[in-house]
Structure 1
Amino acid sequence: MKTLIITHDTYGTKAEVNARTTYLSDFGEWIAEVDATEIRSACDTLCRGIKNCSCEALRGEAAQDDDGKEYSILAT
């Protein structure tokens, strides 16, 4: 399991999620599969106190190791 730090693009708020698995897609994009419940919880953290905030197209960076990769978050 890989811990990722996700950042809201608009507001700069941050939260951590744990990816079940990560892989390179056929299109060359790194994907992190994260439990949907954990994504909802992270979204609550990212949007706390912000009106009309949404958590679409989240991206994350590795927190545990510095692999330099950016991941698209896929809720599973």
Structure 2
Amino acid sequence: MALYTGHTGVVHSVLFSPDGNTLATSGNDGTVRLWDTDVFNDLATLTHTACTIAGRSLTEREWRRYVPGGVAYHRICP
């Protein structure tokens, strides 16, 4: 699993590249970072990352919004 960490301040801008393979972020620490988004191509990694970031399971509404279609809702966090 990969978490996007590195800014030392608040992230205030986020933008995906046109092909969706890169995420650009900028923060009030004066840095711009580029992230490889391949981590989101694997459903297990995606759900684990979401659980880690949120600190809880996704709600059914969040699941429908962020998890690829056809995957039934279930709790992903212990």
TM-score, normalisation: structure 2 = 0.27
Greater relative contact order, per chain length (Cα 8 Å cut-off, separation 6+): 1
Higher strand share: 1
Task: Compare CA radii of gyration and give the structure with the larger one.
Answer: 2
Higher helix share: 2
